A and B are shown apart, each in its own frame.
Chain A
Amino acid sequence: MELIDQFVVTMLRSSTPIILAAVAGLFAIRAGVFHLGMEGLMLAGAFTAVAVGTVAGSVWIGLAAAIVVCLVLSVLYWILIDKFRADTVIAGLGLTALCVGGTAFLMQAIFNQRGSMQSSVRLPRPVSGVNDGLLAFVSELSVMTWVLPILVVLGWILLTRSHLGLQIAAVGEYPYGAEASGVNQSRVRLHAILITGVGCALAGAQLSVGDLSAFTENMTNGRGFIALAAMLFGARSPLYTALAGLFFGFADAFGILIQIRADGSIPRQFVLMAPFVITIVIVALSSSIGRRRRRF
């Protein structure tokens, strides 16, 4: 495979979980919930997909279980912030901490494994076994990456062209107005948080049974927080958020590419910091352009 092909594959694979979580997270953030529990939900999704998928012998059952677990955790989060009026940020961090500890505990308690566990199932790759030609380029992509564009468009339609999307926006931007017009804020927030949970479950499953066939403790490694950054970078628009997620995948792939191509002419420290520098520059530039547009 050519280096550029590998670069594109790496970019797509790296960005898939981020885009999934980020676009789903938009529902929560548009409903006025800054959901810091996404990292934890991704981890719970990753663990459940491996655990249930391996026991049941079916990746689809594992995926369904991951969604169910994330829905249950999302309801718990909703009860905390809506019924008990807990701070969304603190409750979100608490949810993440619960999932970090909970997955490690359950892995040991149920499977007698510490640190990591292998999965006997993984997501199918629609195009596989091709080593040459154009198809070799995409043969390493799991089904999740293939359906990602559909999910993004679906997210865009739901958020901007559906009754629920309008209610979510109303609750997030002008809650008193929404209340006055008869919208049940609590129920709308629940729906938004549940959709976020589904997206995080898919993102986590992509990491453990899509990219790898294993679960390791804390394997999300901050990707849930990167998804939050992608939402803000993407100006809370589904399509721009997907592009922002793609950009983070690009930065990841670029970091790998320049490491591999490094010939010693540039000090290694600069090579390793390059993706982060590019990210800061692009985010600063986009923010500056956004401000100028708003001014005129």
Chain B
Amino acid sequence: MNPSPFKPKVRCSLIGAIAIALCTTSFSTSVNAAGESVVLVATQKAGDRGPIDGLIDGLEQAEAEFGVKTRFLEALDPATYETTLRTLANRGTDVVITTFFAMGATVQALAPEFPDTKFVVIVAAPHDQEVPNARVVGYKTQENAYLSGTFAGYMSATGKIAHIAGVPLPFAWADYNAMTLAAEAINPDIETSVAFVQSFEDPVKGREIAASLYSQGVDAIYTGAAASDIGVVEAASESGNLVIAASPPLIDQAPENVGFIASFEWARTLMIEVENALSDEFQSGFRLGGVDSGEIVMTFPDSFVGDADRKTAAKTATQAAYVAMQNGELIVPYDTTENN
């Protein structure tokens, strides 16, 4: 008679699995004992040459600067958001930093259960109620758009510029309106338009939209459609037109056509938030990052080929607008009106 309900091989496997689980648990405990642990949970894939890659850079800087233990995770399926955050909090993670709008509600619901863990959501709507151990960060995206509109307004020879966005969310309309406001301040007769890829991950469609716009006389496009931007930049390269993007690595794809980049300093945002989370005087609530906090920076690629006079004028005007924003002399409205 066999005393165990399991066969020997199955028994060995079970013992092995339990041993591995015990080892994992003790490792986790030692990590917490050695120093504060910071985990970044991204809801989009790494390798986007944009926000997630920037935040990963920030995580590495935080590890070097503050001596914290860091870890990067992807939670791409919304059904796993709560489980992922709950598991991390249960394991005693000190700081959980996560991304984008859909995580906002999850953190609001979950954070009160784990007062010893600090939660940070980067780019989300403010929480309805104050959560003492949670902070939400947003960006003044309209400032990027205003700077891009200034540059495009000066560079456009045809007087037609456009904005390509992912999906028609309020911030996309605010970006379009800010771009239009800036461009019309330079050229009151300028024609602006907006088009939506309807996806943040479809570069093929992004390319088609951009090619259609360029073929209709648009000679400058400001794109903010995440991974779809790759297609927009490709269309600019093929047609020899100007594209303004929000992610510096895109310069490598079309060095002669990417004329200006107004990008978020995702790494700096992460550093600011890690510092705040580790501080004894943790500040919860909502914070907006922008030009004034150094979280929006400009890049003027030298490789961009364009009319020299226009380039000089565009760069000077854009830099002036940036300084005005830094000093608080220029405040760009967050206008989500659905124009066009």
Contacts and interface: CB of A to CB of B under 8 A. Distances in A.
Interface residues on B, range: 35 or more
- Most chain-A CB neighbours within 10 Å: which of B199, B234, B339? B234
A105 B62 CA distance: 27
Interface string A69-82: 00000000000000
Chain A interface bracket (under 10, 10 to 19, 20 to 34, 35 or more): 35 or more
Contacts of B48: 114-116
Interface string A206-233: 0100011110111101000000000000
B212 A108 contact: no
B195 A212 contact: no
A217 B47 contact: yes
A212 B234 contact: yes
A18 to B, nearest CB: 11
B60 to A, nearest CB: 14
Contacts of A211: 204, 207
A216 B205 CA distance: 13
B231 A212 contact: yes
B168 A268 contact: yes
Interface string A187-217: 0000000000000000000010001111011
Contacts of B215: 1, 3, 5-6
B130 interface: no
A116 B46 CA distance: 10
Residue from A113, A260, A269 having most chain B Cβ neighbours under 10 A: A260
Interface in A1-54: 1, 3, 5-7, 9-10, 13-14
A252 B211 CA distance: 14
A246 to B, nearest CB: 15
B227 interface: yes
Contacts of B134: none
A228 B207 CA distance: 24
A206 B267 CA distance: 36
Interface in A103-119: 104, 107-108, 113-116, 118
A279 B266 CA distance: 40
Contact of A116 (B168, B202, B227): B227
A154 interface: no
A256 B213 CA distance: 9
A115 B46 contact: yes
Contacts of A182: none
Contacts, number: 107
A257 interface: yes
B209 interface: yes
Interface string A113-141: 11110100000000000000000000010
A256 B231 contact: no
Contact of B201 (A113, A213, A216, A260): A216
B230 interface: yes
Contacts of B339: 264
Most chain B CB inside 10 Å of its own CB: which residue of A115, A253, A259: A115
Nearest to A213: B234
B193 interface: yes
A262 interface: yes
Interface in A242-296: 252-253, 255-257, 259-260, 262, 264, 267-269, 272
A140 B211 contact: yes
Interface string B137-154: 000000000000000000
12 contacts: A14-B205, A104-B45, A116-B227, A118-B253, A214-B230, A217-B47, A221-B199, A221-B202, A252-B205, A253-B208, A256-B208, A268-B338
Interface of A: 1, 3, 5-7, 9-10, 13-14, 104, 107-108, 113-116, 118, 140, 207, 211-214, 216-219, 221, 252-253, 255-257, 259-260, 262, 264, 267-269, 272
